Amino acid sequence: MSITSRTILGRVKRLRGVSGARRAVWAYVRGAPGTYVWLTVLFVTTVALHHMSPEFEQEFLRQRSTNIHELSRHPVRVLVASAMWIDGGYWLPYAVLYSVFHAQAERWLGTARWLAVCAAAHVLATLLSEGALAKAIRDGLAPRSAINTLDVGVSYALSGVVAVLVYRIRPPWRYGYLAAVLVFYAVPLGAGPTFTDFGHFVSVLIGLGCYPLVRGRERVRNPKETAPVPPG
């Protein structure tokens, strides 16, 4: 096959397109360092879990769980450690969710404010949901063995960030997004709710309550706009 000037130009354009896409991806990642450092930690810990036997994995995670037993003995340690592991071993879905929600929030709010939302949702929702579980145990509505239940993961922080992004969207789109979030997290409460369902809904309310952290940030986003969101 002969190589013509048109062929060469076509290949150069494709290479430029690939290079431009790589730069855009890198700029997006660089604008949310906390999100992608956290994702990297989750990747490493998920790989580690895949090398454990099922029996050892359960006991290992239980010692890093924010259950009633561990919270009463090592509250700070388990609150931090539980956010570094994924129960279930599937990292890729979290990579997508972190890129869609956490990265957007961090780029908008800045790393410090984004981290404050994550910490508030993770810690407060954990304490309130475990407190509700403790009351259920005392009232005989849950078994005594529930004090050692497995409770690790990053979903409370993610739920809080999903909620705080309500303030990132321009009305009237904001209200549709808010309604969708509330319905998504409220429906499980009406169909055999668990303490984690309660915790997720609480974390959404905490995220909505973080409005003071979003004041003074960039203008809200119109979903019809296609321009990329600049770093916060």
Q: Going residue by residue through the chain, which has 232 residues, state the pLDDT in tens, using 9 for 90 and above.
A: 445 655 555 555 554 555 667 888 888 889 999 999 999 999 999 999 988 888 888 888 888 999 999 999 999 999 999 999 997 778 999 999 999 999 999 999 999 999 999 999 999 999 999 999 999 999 998 899 889 888 888 999 999 999 999 999 999 999 999 999 999 999 998 887 889 999 999 999 999 999 999 987 645 554 444 333 333 3
Cis? peptide before 172, omega within 30° of 0: yes
Residues 6+ apart with CB under 8 A from 64: 70, 78, 81, 82, 84, 85, 152
Q: How much of the chain is helix, strand and coil, in % rounded to 5?
A: 75, 0, 25
Count the Cβ atoms, other than its own, within 10 Å of residue 68: 18
| Three-class DSSP labels, 67-88 | CHHHHHHCHHHHHHHHHHCCCC
